[in-house]
């Protein structure tokens, strides 16, 4: 039989219960710390932890441990607070930096109790800020830009100069270094399509600038392209030497990726389809995260202040409206139109549901308010399930 407690007391019991299980060896590791439990937006129970390890897999493993504890604790010992629809875990470093944030539905969290880690991973939403993940993310984006630039140069310059474009368009120094680097791998007399694989970012920059007339219509302003390539090379040096990357560097890299890769997709979609798909994924991820951050938290005491409630409704509607507008401007790659259209529909349904709640609240009719609240919860639940089940798996979280 489950017991009921006020949430502050319930949170304290949960934290102490986790520590007791650790001390008795029933749950581990012993140096994993569960520091507190919060109720966010009256709908998600979020545990804050300081993990014993700081690599991506290790943090996810310990987050799963805590998620499994919460799922069991609130199923066997205590009743969930009314309205709770999921669990979350936020992992922090000793210095207070957020390493990871994971959200799971009640059903997904149950996988952790059953030892089904893979199922939990695929049905949960992750925001991974571990140094390891940032480095891997940077490596992926930089690699895709390099591959795309090499392919673009090969195609464009062969059209301009013919099959001997390497000798005609590539500066001698770059050509000699590529030949030396490929020695023992490529045969003598290999063409540009092979030799260009042995060039670096700044080599690619120099080739493109030397033949700028062939690339002006793709990348726009020359100065912008030059600066972008210099910034990209700076970040690449950090990544290549496995130096920690800051959040600002990752944000800068994503901007560079969107500019360079986005420009290339408009020229040769068969050459760089991953870029278009990745750009779509990243833009949607940003929209979802920024919209969520713009939705105000509404607590029980707010109901005593109609003006405050109205203000928060206005913010909620505005955030969803802006998000929907941004979603409609995203370029959708082939094969993703249906998924994108469903996101638009679910998002619009939630936006309309919030507006109905706002109108019902203004009318003062309690029956209309209750009916609108039910429709809102249904629409919010559908969007959350869609996001958790389909969209976030596409976004790589």
In a domain? residue 2: no
Point out the domain boundary residue: 129, 164, 196. Answer: 129
Range of the domain at 150: 134-271
| Nearest-angstrom CA–CA distance, 323 and 313 | 15
What secondary structure letter does DSSP report for 76?
Answer: I
In a domain? residue 278: no
Number of domains in the chain: 3
**Of the candidates 226, 288, 261, which has an alpha carbon nearest to the alpha carbon of residue 140?**
261
Residues 155, 109 share a domain? no
- The strands making up 124-128's β-sheet, listed across from edge to edge, are 33-40, 44-50, 86-92, 98-105, 124-128
Cβ proximity of 129 and 246 under 8 Å: no
Half-sphere exposure (Cβ direction) of 201: Cα atoms closer than 13 Å:
20
Q: What is the pLDDT of residue 272?
A: 45
Residues 6+ apart with CB under 8 A from 377: none
What's the CATH number where 25 sits? 3.30.300
In a domain? residue 276: no
In a domain? residue 291: yes
Q: Which residues are bridge partners to 273 per DSSP?
A: none
Residues 25, 124 share a domain? yes
Q: What is the pLDDT of residue 321?
A: 85
In a domain? residue 56: yes
Residues 11, 76 share a domain? yes
In a domain? residue 197: yes
**Residue pLDDT, tens place only, 260-290:** 987 887 666 554 456 667 778 878 888 888 8
In a domain? residue 37: yes
Q: What is the pLDDT of residue 271?
A: 44
Residues 90, 30 share a domain? yes
Residues 156, 102 share a domain? no
Point out the domain boundary residue: 250, 271, 292. Answer: 271
Q: What is the pLDDT of residue 362?
A: 79
Q: What is the pLDDT of residue 389?
A: 65
φ/ψ (deg, to 5) at 34: -95, 110
Residues 376, 261 share a domain? no
Chain center to CA of 220: 28
Q: What is the pLDDT of residue 222?
A: 97
φ/ψ (deg, to 5) at 286: -65, -45
Q: What is the pLDDT of residue 240?
A: 87
| Nearest-angstrom CA–CA distance, 18 and 27 | 8
In a domain? residue 106: yes
Average pLDDT, consecutive stretches of 10 residues, N- to C-terminus, the chain (397 residues): 72 92 88 92 87 92 94 81 85 91 89 90 86 88 90 93 93 93 80 91 97 94 97 93 87 88 70 62 82 80 76 84 83 70 90 86 80 87 77 51
């Amino acid at each position: 039989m489950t017991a009921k407690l006020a949430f502050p007391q319930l949170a304290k019991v949960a934290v102490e219960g986790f520590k007791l299980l650790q001390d008795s060896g029933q749950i581990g590791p012993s140096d994993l710390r569960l520091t507190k439990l919060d109720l966010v937006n009256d709908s998600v129970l979020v545990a804050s932890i300081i993990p014993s390890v700081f690599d991506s897999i290790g943090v996810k493993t310990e987050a799963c441990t805590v998620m499994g504890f919460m799922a069991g604790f609130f199923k066997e010992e205590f009743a969930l607070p009314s309205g709770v629809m999921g669990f979350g875990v936020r992992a922090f470093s000793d210095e207070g930096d957020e390493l990871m944030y994971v959200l799971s539905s009640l059903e997904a969290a149950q996988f952790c109790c059953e030892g089904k880690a893979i199922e939990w991973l695929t049905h949960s939403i992750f925001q991974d800020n571990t140094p390891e993940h940032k480095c891997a993310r940077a490596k992926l984006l930089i690699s895709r830009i390099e591959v795309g630039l090499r392919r673009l140069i090969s195609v464009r310059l062969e059209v301009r100069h013919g099959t001997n474009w390497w000798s005609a368009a590539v500066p001698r120094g770059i050509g000699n270094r590529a030949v030396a680097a490929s020695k023992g791998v490529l045969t003598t007399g290999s063409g540009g399509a092979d030799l260009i694989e042995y060039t670096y970012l700044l080599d690619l920059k120099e080739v493109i600038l030397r033949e700028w007339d062939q690339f002006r219509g793709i990348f726009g302003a020359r100065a912008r392209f030059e600066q972008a390539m210099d910034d990209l090379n700076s970040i690449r040096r950090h990544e290549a030497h496995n130096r920690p990357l800051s959040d600002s560097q990752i944000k800068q890299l994503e901007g560079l990726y969107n500019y360079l890769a986005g420009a290339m997709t408009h020229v040769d979609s068969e050459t760089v389809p991953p870029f278009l798909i990745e750009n779509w994924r990243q833009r949607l991820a940003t929209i979802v995260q920024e919209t969520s951050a713009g939705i105000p938290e509404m607590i029980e005491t707010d109901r005593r202040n109609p003006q405050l409630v109205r203000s928060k409704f206005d913010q909620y509607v505005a955030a969803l409206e802006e998000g929907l507008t941004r979603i409609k401007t995203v370029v959708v790659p082939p094969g993703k139109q249906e998924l994108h259209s469903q996101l638009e529909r679910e998002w619009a349904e939630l936006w309309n549901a919030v507006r109905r709640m706002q109108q019902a609240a203004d009318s003062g009719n309690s029956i209309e308010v209750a009916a609108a609240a039910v429709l809102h919860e249904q629409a919010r639940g559908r969007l959350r399930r869609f996001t958790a089940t389909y969209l976030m798996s596409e976004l790589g979280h």
